[in-house]
Amino acid sequence: MSQPWGYSCQGGLNVNLNQLEMLKQPGFATKLKNFEVDPDGGYRRVSGYTLFGDTLPNSSNSVLGMAVYADGVVVCSGTGIFFSTDGEDTWLQVNRASVDAAGDNYSTFTGRSVAARTSQGRCTFAIYEGNSDYGELVICDGVNEPFLFQMTGTGGLTSRTFFAKEITVSSTIGPAYAAIHDKHLVVAGASAAKNTVYYSGTNDIDSFSSTGSGSIVIEDQVEGLASFRDDLIIFCSNSIHKLININDSSSIAIVPITKNVGCVNGGSIQEIGGDLVFLAPDGIRTIAGTARIGDVELGSVSRQIQSIITDIVSDSGYIITSGVLRSKSQYRLFYSKTSENPTLGKGIIGTLTGNGFSWSETQGIQALGFASNLDKDGVEKVYHGDKDGYIYNHDTGSSFYSGGSTGNITATYQTPDFDFGDIGTRKTLKYARISFSPEGECSPTFRLRFDYENTDTPQPEPVEITTIDLPAIFGSSTFNSASFGATSDPMERITLEGSGNTCSFRISSEDQKSSYAVNGIYIDYMPTGRR
């Protein structure tokens, strides 16, 4: 007599639990590459990315950082800083000769000779809202003085007005990190003063000598800054602090959050879900959790992917950048090397669900710069750039790129090995019903493997899942019961063959077709004997 068994896809990637523990939570995945976790359940193959326009900001120079600004994108590449609204027109280089406090409009700006910096490091950004149309964008790179860029007006570039200048902090110090906090520009991470935090005058971000300005020294090397609620969070190599009372010279102070945990890379710091997340030596952490329990391992929210985190942390050659996709409640962190082909770029996706973060991996996205923000109309804009200098509309289309040429998206979802509650009984599988939601034409492959892929056990051939007209849903189905509650068959049915004591399932694709989601799997099997 056949028996039913099923599970829903939830929990995300888990490479930390052993097989026995995985059986208690069958929705976990042992491989989840180029899939993302849906906050409401299910695993969706990620979207691709498309070229942002058809020109390069700076002729094949590696992207050093980028920011969404003024209904366009600012890109640091090579030794220049560039701006474009659509990528179609020639990129406007905004760091030019003789930029000063007098300001420049478009006509005179383009008439000046281009004076690129002699060198430029990895760039960080901060936007001071102020009273202008788009606020004032501050760029720090760890080499040069902070660069201020401001734009007003709408429409094409010729109808806008630009202003740019360099900001002197202290003896031409070039800080690496910037944040806007309580009407101050705060910078840190200068090579000559790695443990000093500088703050500008009150509501006077381009002056570090006016009223309200100053500096403060920390007993650790600064790795990043973030304004969070009422405090400025200062991330250091081996500790984390907060700067309080910045507007009161008599009570301004540095207060330790922890002296036992630091930040590996400032490019990992993001705000999501009412908290700050960052990459620590032991994993992705939150400020709230770290402040509450210090260096205890439970402060990490990425224990399910600890081996991946260990790889990232142990290799200092990785360039790390990150961002937030608000529409999907996702934190995305990318790590790659400029020496590698862009197709080898890697990343992790943390989707914030009701049970915390659920994780997956990406491969094929080399994001040396990543930017996400809302434009003036509230539309989320997301971009990334690679070592060849190309800029992409992130999370769009159905293909990946390398050097501007389209490429396949290789995606894999692998389940744990299931024993259906009885490891000693051999099972003959009859059929599977897959809750499968296609977004267009697609043809992923379903593969069944018995007994941990034991070579002594015959293994069935893979089966192609054909595109169906309407997304399949569970309806009122109930797992682990003899029947689903739905009146019709809402799932893709696949006839199975073979037997074993345990089995696992893999759904994969390697193409440039539409995305799809796998929400759950129902299996009908027959016990056929015991060992």
Which residues does residue 522 pair with via DSSP β-bridges, in sequence order?
Answer: 6, 433
Percent of the chain with pLDDT over 70: 89
Question: Does the pLDDT at position 293 exceed 60?
Answer: no
Which tokens go with 255? 């207060």
C-alpha span between 509 and 304 (Å, rounded):
24
Residue range(s) defining the domain that contains residue 482: 3-41+412-530
The CA-atom distances, in angstroms, between 139 and each of 81, 180, 351 are 9, 12, 29
In a domain, 240, yes or no: no
Residue 307 maps to a domain: no
Band the pLDDT of 109: cuts 50, 70, 90. low
Q: What pLDDT sits at residue 474?
A: 39
Q: What one-character DSSP code corresponds to residue 485?
A: S
159 vs 197: which has the higher pLDDT: 197
Query: Is the Cα dihedral 76, 77, 82, 87 positive or negative?
Result: negative
pLDDT per position as a tens digit, 52-73: 988 889 887 999 999 999 989 9
Is position 467 within any domain? yes
Coil, strand or helix at 334: strand
**How confident is the model over 180-199, as a mean pLDDT?**
96
- pLDDT at position 227, please? 96
In this predicted structure, the answer to whether residue 468 has a pLDDT above a threshold of 60 is no
What local confidence, expressed as pLDDT, does residue 397 receive? 94
Between CA 508 and CA 34 the distance in angstroms is: 10
Mean pLDDT of the chain: 88
- Written as six digits, the tokens of 245 are 């009372």
**Token pair 């997956």: residue:** 360
Give the separation between CA 397 and CA 292, rounded to whole angstroms: 42
- pTM of the predicted protein model: 0.91
Does residue 156 sit within a domain? no
Q: What is the pLDDT of residue 156?
A: 74
pLDDT of residue 98: 62
User: How far, in Å, CA of 204 to CA of 361, rounded?
Assistant: 42
User: Partners of 105 in the beta sheet?
Assistant: 161
Question: pLDDT tens for residues 26-50?
Answer: 789 999 999 999 998 899 999 999 9
Q: What is the pLDDT of residue 470?
A: 43
- How high is the pLDDT of residue 151? 87
> Is 181 within the bounds of a domain?
no
Structural domain contains residue 425: yes
Count of C-beta atoms within a 10 Å radius of residue 117: 18
Neighbours of 486 (CB within 10 A): 14
Tell me how far apart the alpha carbons of residues 310 and 302 are, in angstroms, rounded to a whole number: 11
**pLDDT tens digits, 156-181:** 777 778 888 889 998 778 999 999 99
Residue 222 lies in a domain: no
CA dist list (Å): 238 to 2, 228, 256, 276:
58, 20, 11, 17
Residue 486 has pLDDT above 50, yes or no: no
Q: How confident is the model at residue 403 (pLDDT cuts 50, 70, 90)?
A: low
Q: What is the CATH number of the domain that holds 27?
A: 2.60.120
Question: Domain count of the chain?
Answer: 1
- Banded model confidence at residue 251, pLDDT cuts 50, 70, 90: very high
Structure tokens at 99: 């930029």
Query: How far is the CA of 43 from the CAs of 40, 361, 438, in angstroms?
Result: 10, 12, 12
Instruction: State how far the Cα of 404 lies from the Cα of 44, in Å rounded to an integer.
Output: 25
Has residue 484 got a pLDDT over 80?
no
Residue 27 lies in a domain: yes
